[in-house]
Amino acid sequence: MADVNKEEFEKFISEHKGKRKFKQSVELAINFKAIDFSKQDNRLNLDVNLPNGKGKTKKIAVFASDKELIGKAENNDITVFHADELDAIGKDNKRLLSLLAYDLYAQPSLMPNIAKSMGQFLGPRNNMPKPLIGAVNFEDIISQSSKKITLKNRGKYLPTIHCTVGTEDMEIDKLYDNVNEVVSSIVKKVGNNKIRSIYLKLSMSEPMKIM
């Protein structure tokens, strides 16, 4: 697949950035065709490392009961939610909403309880915790969190994926490289002929079709 037209990309970003009192995200909407997402094997769950990062980083939080794991997390200034808090968090709408501010990770043994108490809230919002498998290096996790995005189906069988590729204050060349990394990763996964269209937008702008 050819790269996104750079001249049109630069013009669009330049025309729309700085129009709001907050820092807008730069986003993509990818629309698919001829893929039956009702079949589990066809559903997408693709991690992409943006070469120039996301422009802003979510805080990280960990669900844990293991003392060693808790100590490692606290030494890296990572928020810890203890195992005995799970049920209370799941019943508290305010605390559930606060979880959306974090990239969430969890001790694997706690995943069933997390799914039971919070899965109905976190699952549809694509924010279920990632299990911490093997030797845990929180420095690597923090570094990856600033770059990694996950392209995943949301809603019931919807043929559309949305993702953030940066923020409007990033250098245009860096945003451009991030967009092309996402587009090429999707094409590699599903093929050109399965993509109906791709649109670029800022948080509050009208979208521009780039494919």
Here the CATH number for the domain that contains residue 69 is 3.40.50.790
Percent of the chain with pLDDT over 90: 76
205 and 35 Cβ atoms separated by less than 8 Å: no
Q: Does residue 177 form part of some domain? A: yes
Q: Does residue 140 form part of some domain? A: yes
Q: Which of 95, 110, 145 delimits the end of a domain?
A: 145
Q: Does residue 163 form part of some domain? A: yes
The number of helices, as runs of H, and strands, as runs of E, in the chain is 7, 10
Q: Which of 108, 129, 145 delimits the end of a domain?
A: 145
Nearest residue to 128 (alpha-carbon basis) of 103, 149, 161, 162: 103
Residue 108, φ and ψ in degrees, nearest 5: -55, -35
198 and 43 Cβ atoms separated by less than 8 Å: no
Q: Does residue 64 form part of some domain? A: yes
Q: Which of 127, 145, 163 delimits the end of a domain?
A: 145
Q: Are residues 36 and 64 in the same domain?
A: no
The model's pLDDT over 136-161, given as tens digits with 9 standing for 90+, comes to: 999 999 988 889 898 988 777 789 99
Q: What is the pTM of this model?
A: 0.79
Q: Are residues 139 and 190 in the same domain?
A: no
- Copy the structure tokens of residue 41: 């094997």
Collect all residues with Cβ–Cβ distance below 8 Å to 36 and sequence separation of at least 6: 42, 157
Distance, in Å, from the CA atom of 175 to the CA atom of 118, rounded to the nearest integer, reads: 34
Distance, in Å, from the CA atom of 127 to the CA atom of 101, rounded to the nearest integer, reads: 10
Q: Are residues 158 and 135 in the same domain?
A: no
195 and 30 Cβ atoms separated by less than 8 Å: yes
Cα–Cα distances (Å) from 61 to 64, 74, 78, 164, in that order, read 10, 10, 6, 20
Q: Are residues 123 and 154 in the same domain?
A: no
What pLDDT, on a 0 to 100 scale, did the predictor assign at position 145? 87
What pLDDT, on a 0 to 100 scale, did the predictor assign at position 2? 52
Q: Give me the chain's average pLDDT, please.
A: 92
Q: Are residues 126 and 98 in the same domain?
A: yes
Distance, in Å, from the CA atom of 77 to the CA atom of 69, rounded to the nearest integer, reads: 13
What pLDDT, on a 0 to 100 scale, did the predictor assign at position 14? 92
The model's pLDDT over 49-87, given as tens digits with 9 standing for 90+, comes to: 999 999 987 899 999 999 999 999 999 999 999 999 999
Q: Which domain holds residue 41?
A: 6-55+147-209
Percent of the chain with pLDDT over 70: 99
Q: Are residues 181 and 154 in the same domain?
A: yes
Q: Is the pLDDT of residue 104 over 90?
A: yes
Nearest residue to 168 (alpha-carbon basis) of 25, 52, 65: 25
Q: Are residues 115 and 192 in the same domain?
A: no
Q: Which residue has the tokens 């670029």?
A: 200
- Number of structural domains in the chain: 2
Q: Does residue 1 form part of some domain? A: no
β-pairing verdict for 59-64 and 79-82? parallel
Q: Are residues 163 and 197 in the same domain?
A: yes
HSE toward the beta carbon, residue 121, CA cutoff 13 A: 16
Here the CATH number for the domain that contains residue 172 is 3.30.190.20
Q: Are residues 151 and 140 in the same domain?
A: no
The model's pLDDT over 10-31, given as tens digits with 9 standing for 90+, comes to: 999 999 998 888 999 999 999 9
Q: Are residues 131 and 66 in the same domain?
A: yes
Q: Are residues 67 and 135 in the same domain?
A: yes
Tell me the average pLDDT across 26-42: 92
Q: Are residues 106 and 37 in the same domain?
A: no
The SS3 call for residue 93 is helix
Q: Is the pLDDT of residue 193 over 80?
A: yes
* CB atoms near residue 63 (< 10 Å): 25
How sure is the predictor about 3, in pLDDT bands with cuts at 50, 70 and 90? low
What pLDDT, on a 0 to 100 scale, did the predictor assign at position 1? 47
Q: Does residue 78 form part of some domain? A: yes
